[in-house]
Chains A and B, each alone.
Chain A
Amino acid sequence: MADMKSINVVIDRKQVSVAPGSTILDAAQSIGIDIPTLCYMRLHNTEYKCQPASCRICVVEVEGRRNLCPACATPVMEGMVIKTSSMRVLSARRMIVELMISDHPNDCLTCTKSGACELQDLARKTGVVDIHLSGKSQSEYEIRENKAIVRDMSKCIMCRRCEQMCSDIQSVHALSGVDRGFESVVGTAFDESLDNTMCVGCGQCVAVCPVGALMEKDDTDQVIKALADTDMTVVFQTAPATRVAIGEEFGLEPGTDVTGKLVTSLKDLGADYVFDTDFAADLTIMEEGTELIDRLNKFLNGEKTALPLLTSCCPGWVNFYESNYPDMLDLPSTAKSPQGMFGAVAKNYFAEKLNIDRKKMFVVSVMPCTAKKIEADREELKEDGNPDVDVVLTTREVARLIKLANIDFVNLPDGDYDSPLGESTGAAVIFGVTGGVLEAALRTVYEVLEKKTLPRVEFEAVRGFDGLKVATVTIVGQDINVAVAHGLSNARKVMEEIKNGNPRNLHAVEVMACPGGCIGGGGQPYHYGDGDILKARTNATYQIDEAKVIRKSHENPAIKALYEEYYEEPGSEIAHHQLHTRYTYRERY
């Protein structure tokens, strides 16, 4: 049965043959043997892999070797005889977990991560009932937080997943191992606040942290206060990617579309209006698409213009280019992100419509993203100090709020978004996945320029999990070259390419900071390294798009009405004032 090239080993008295290059962990998993791991994480379908072999939880006994071997990093060799759960292995593992806990605060009762903590889980799995160590010292660090992320490094177990993510996948390099020995920790340059570092707030470090060392900044209390305030009109918006993920927090299968339940739950919480960020996404396409058309027209007429146009919906990406590419700040679209546009529409147009002071309106965003918290705090998204978006809650925080309110989410009836900012198209929902913004833009740009209906709505070439996708679309006889990047290291590759003369003549580039796009955002339910979850969320998103009757932003009747009633036309003066923004260079460590 075994193919000539495969390697035969015995694991726990079971024969198994695996491909060369496989690790003991791979081999064990292939026959259903569970070896606990901690520092190891591989996010399937993406390029993320953290394999420092440093936690030593996954050690196993290999016959003939003096020491135990880490299963995650030891390649199988022909004839290996491996024991994954001998008493020697089990007691070593337990001791290692004891060592970790001995240098970890004992505050599971109040730790937000409790229940989702991989260390807690391991303690149970390895049978730790007491810390049999007399040593007491613990490494203690001040808790540091910014608008998006709370770092409590006393809880850090040095798995380095965050550092790997920040450096390797995001190429942000805000984090590094610092100091050495017992004092070593993952930190920022000079222990600076994240705000002074290259951190973009994407929260991918939070997404992979196994313990409570890295958490989103919890803003649920502010929302509770606003909901309790009868004078306050509380308006919610829900981002595209949240509806295909929040179900996981309540035990539903990844990729379950729970849009209706999400709306109902927010209303049950006491929201006055529940609107859809998707509406604002359609609006974004109108503004950004118009900008792209303008720039393309100029280009086609031989005039000077800034190309390629870079999308600007993703706040992590915006932070990234603001601190990395000061000379290229003319490239990104000036259109605000959908969250930003929604806030502006809500606090201006809608507040006027309700005839209330904007200060009496409290806008809550439900976002898959931690960087959105930073975005909402930008001066450009405020008027007289009053923010267009008051609070951003991540998907995880909203789920906590719903649980806190004792709402039986799974059995909720489906609710409908309120009008008028609740109506959206299929083009808007795909903003949640990599390639989606560009696809939505192409649907509109094509029809506006060609003045005819697209033969096929789907642009398959910009879909999928490849880190960097490049495609060419022919519009009015012109080849329009587009690129799509997700994961900021891929974005850096494109930016360096553009910096070096844009040899591929790119006209438009979409970037989403997080692997997979917003569905893999730093505020989403934890994936625990299962990349299939990202796939399921993606598929669900495209299904929602397919099921929509209207799938192009410019056909959204509510958007048309909004322009007629308030914003005149895309790119108008009032649109510019409220729906566009500007970028500044930020020098950081």
Chain B
Amino acid sequence: MLRTRSPDFERSKCIHMAKINSIEELCNVKAKALEAQKNQKITILVCGGTGCKSANSDLIVKNLEEELASENLADRVAVLMTGCFGFCEKGPIVKILPDNTFYTEVKPEDAKEIIQGHIVNGEKVERLLYKDQNTGESIPDSKHMNFYKKQMRIALRNCGYIDPAVIEQYIREDGYQALAKCLTTMEAKDVIQIMKDSGLRGRGGAGFPTGLKWEIASRYDADVKYVVCNADEGDPGAFMDRSILEGDPHSVVEAMAICGYAINATKGRVYIRAEYPLAITRLENAIKSAREYGLLGDNILGTDFSFDIEITFGAGAFVCGEETALLHSMEGSRGEPTTKPPFPAESGFFGKPTNVNNVETYANVAQIILKGADWYRSIGTEKSAGTKVFALAGKINNVGLIEVPMGITLREVIFDIGGGIKDGKKFKAVQTGGPSGGCLTEKDLDTPIDFDNLIAKGSMMGSGGMIVMDEESCMPAVAKFYLEFTKEESCGKCTPCRVGTTRLLELLTLICDGKGEMKHFDELRNLSQVIKDTALCGLGQTAPNPVLSTLDAFYDEYVAHVVDKKCPAGVCRKLLSYKIDVNKCKGCTLCARTCPNNAIEGKVKETHVIKDELCIKCGACMEKCKFGAISKG
């Protein structure tokens, strides 16, 4: 059992503290930071993402530091707590630079061995090294891990590389150079033009072209205009935005300021889930140190551009990911979406022109400004430029956070990066786009991933959740799971979503309970179509996707539930029956004693029998049987 305490302390390390008044001063800070890095011969990076922190990575840092101190190595070796490495499956991760040694599942008590072995004696700690799951061989250098080989990190460029609490490290990696470039060498319209030329599309779900969005927002004049960052990542199983904010908060702060310059806005707001305490702390720190450095506030970098950012907390409503709902929530109201037009660009936060983008979108901006639109456009596909961050989860070997170029195939993501299906089981489907997306199957594995292809396949990019399922996943039950989510998260404003999602869920429940009829398939399809066609906002319009996509791709499985009253994956409890194999049962009575409902009869050393009418299908007997005599089907 893993049992840890996640400490609430967060290290804020601001070294410089003086205001940066020009691009030259910014470059000086960068040069100093590079020099400092060079002086450190060895750097130990410890993952400080939520997953690894939950597994006690704070204590690892503490132990490593103590160990170094006792060896008098503290000034030669730096220990940094970074953002997420992405390889959450094997966390906590410790990585040692410069040779990229990648230790997995490190425990606090391993600190001594790492320092003594690796640092003092120069011998890598073999047992902590990552083992290739196919060959079983240790891979000492993370560059050679399949998990990282096909990745391309732009939005995640600094995650797992810099200490997010130290602004100098961000500046060292060209941080705030893009803002400086915009403020000193570009006009607002040029910034917008680069964004348009880059082909960047909104990473929050719908994929609206970012440059165009900025251009529209720039057209409206008002006394106050807002730049809003949507960090209300509510997708179950998605944690891209959180990881970026935890690992590289300045990338978002800088981009929001650039957006402010481009659309002539002076105020920024980040709307962030209150359930993300670590991301909130790191973002607060980032804003604070950016202010201290004069990278936020009045007359940034000595120019006449002023911009500042405030944080607003969400309060647990998935629908607030929809931009109009988000704005209402920021205004202190119920997060109910309103019909567009007017778009936020015209009338947004408190009726003022507002540009809303999500975290990952912003995280790409500075790199585009620095490296140019052509560079960005050259990555990905024609209509979906750049990379996309996915949260890879489910029945997959390498659960984690990845960033890949658009156009990569699902097969590469699941089998190369993700390391294939857990426990050697068979791939069944992958769900993309969370509750708004759909399930893709074997036949879609070689489809290049981009916005349009996913929609064409009945799914969508969504914010980037990617849940892999194996043969033990029941697709009607998966659809039901998502509908439970959307039903609960529906704001209740419009009829199709408020009542329609409830009716969809009821139909799916009937099917999963074995009470389904063939006519229900038509009902599901008709109702889904109308909900897609008429719901007020994106939440409702996409809510039927999990139903329609599974109904199309796994029709036989649905039919099995309805006609044969069987759940082929063995998930739907009400359709299961447990049987005791006469040939294997030894009559040990363990199952009968385990059964919570006294549904098993039998004498000692005689074959036992499960009484179906009493069986509550809890599966306890099957788990307990030492002879594998109990099976379900």
Do A's and B's CB atoms come within 8 Å in the complex? yes
Asked if A102 is at the interface of the complex by the 8 Å CB criterion, the answer is: yes
Chain A residues in 8 Å Cβ range of B507 = 134-135
* Partner of B535 from A56, A57, A176 at Cβ < 8 Å: A56
* Partner of B523 from A103, A134, A136 at Cβ < 8 Å: A134
Q: Which of B487, B527, B541 has the most chain A CB within a 10 Å cutoff?
A: B527
Asked if B510 is at the interface of the complex by the 8 Å CB criterion, the answer is: yes
| Those of B496-540 within 8 Å (CB) of chain A | 496, 498-503, 505-507, 510, 520, 523, 526-527, 530, 532-536
**Total A-B Cβ pairs within 8 A:** 114
Asked if B188 is at the interface of the complex by the 8 Å CB criterion, the answer is: no
Binds B, one of A88-96, A219-227, A328-336, A379-387: A88-96
Known: A181-B487, A182-B502. A96 touches B496 (CB 8 A): yes
* Partner of A67 from B503, B510, B523, B532 at Cβ < 8 Å: B532
Measured between alpha carbons, how far is A53 from B496 in the docked complex, in Å?
12
When C-beta atoms are compared, the residue in chain B nearest to A133 turns out to be B503
Known: A99-B500, A180-B317. A134 touches B534 (CB 8 A): no
Measured between alpha carbons, how far is A53 from B342 in the docked complex, in Å?
13
Binds A, one of B57-65, B115-123, B147-155, B333-341: B333-341
Chain B residues in 8 Å Cβ range of A56 = 494-496, 534-536
Closest chain-B Cβ to A136's Cβ sits at a distance in Å of: 7
Known: A133-B503, A182-B499. A96 touches B530 (CB 8 A): yes
Mark contacts of B536-557 with chain A using CB atoms, 8 A cut-off: 1 yes-contact digit, 0 otherwise: 1000010000000000000000
Asked if B611 is at the interface of the complex by the 8 Å CB criterion, the answer is: no
| Those of A421-463 within 8 Å (CB) of chain B | none
Quick check: A134 and B506 within 8 Å, CB to CB?
A: yes
Q: Which of A68, A132, A181 has the most chain B CB within a 10 Å cutoff?
A: A181
Quick check: B488 and A59 within 8 Å, CB to CB?
A: no
Known: A133-B527, A134-B507, A137-B506. A99 touches B496 (CB 8 A): yes
Closest chain-A Cβ to B170's Cβ sits at a distance in Å of: 39
Quick check: B492 and A59 within 8 Å, CB to CB?
A: no
Asked if A35 is at the interface of the complex by the 8 Å CB criterion, the answer is: no
Mark contacts of A154-182 with chain B using CB atoms, 8 A cut-off: 1 yes-contact digit, 0 otherwise: 00011000000000000000001101111
Chain B residues in 8 Å Cβ range of A177 = 334, 336, 492-493
Quick check: B491 and A181 within 8 Å, CB to CB?
A: yes
Interface bracket on A: 35 or more
When C-beta atoms are compared, the residue in chain A nearest to B493 turns out to be A54
Chain A residues in 8 Å Cβ range of B197 = none
Asked if B490 is at the interface of the complex by the 8 Å CB criterion, the answer is: yes
Quick check: B534 and A180 within 8 Å, CB to CB?
A: no
Measured between alpha carbons, how far is A351 from B491 in the docked complex, in Å?
58
Quick check: A54 and B536 within 8 Å, CB to CB?
A: yes
Mark contacts of B323-347 with chain A using CB atoms, 8 A cut-off: 1 yes-contact digit, 0 otherwise: 0000000000010101101000000
Interface bracket on B: 35 or more
Chain A residues in 8 Å Cβ range of B541 = 67
Mark contacts of A46-75 with chain B using CB atoms, 8 A cut-off: 1 yes-contact digit, 0 otherwise: 000000111111010000000110100111
Measured between alpha carbons, how far is A170 from B250 in the docked complex, in Å?
47
Known: A95-B526, A134-B506. A181 touches B490 (CB 8 A): yes
| Those of A83-109 within 8 Å (CB) of chain B | 88, 91-92, 95-96, 99-100, 102-103
Measured between alpha carbons, how far is A135 from B341 in the docked complex, in Å?
34
Measured between alpha carbons, how far is A54 from B506 in the docked complex, in Å?
22
Measured between alpha carbons, how far is A103 from B497 in the docked complex, in Å?
13
Asked if B489 is at the interface of the complex by the 8 Å CB criterion, the answer is: yes
Quick check: A181 and B523 within 8 Å, CB to CB?
A: no
Closest chain-B Cβ to A209's Cβ sits at a distance in Å of: 16
When C-beta atoms are compared, the residue in chain B nearest to A132 turns out to be B523
When C-beta atoms are compared, the residue in chain A nearest to B335 turns out to be A180
When C-beta atoms are compared, the residue in chain B nearest to A94 turns out to be B530
Quick check: A96 and B495 within 8 Å, CB to CB?
A: yes
Measured between alpha carbons, how far is A56 from B507 in the docked complex, in Å?
22
Quick check: A182 and B534 within 8 Å, CB to CB?
A: no
On A, residues with C-beta under 8 Å from B are 52-57, 59, 67-68, 70, 73-75, 88, 91-92, 95-96, 99-100, 102-103, 132-137, 157-158, 176-177, 179-184
**What are 18 A-B pairs at a CB distance below 8 A?**
A55-B494, A56-B534, A59-B533, A68-B534, A91-B526, A92-B534, A95-B527, A132-B526, A133-B503, A134-B510, A135-B507, A137-B502, A157-B495, A158-B492, A177-B334, A181-B489, A181-B498, A182-B502
The 9 closest A-B pairs by CB, nearest first: A184-B492, A135-B506, A135-B503, A99-B499, A53-B339, A181-B490, A95-B530, A56-B534, A182-B502
Q: 5 new A-B pairs (CB below 8 Å) besides A102-B503, A158-B495?
A: A70-B339, A92-B534, A99-B495, A103-B499, A181-B491
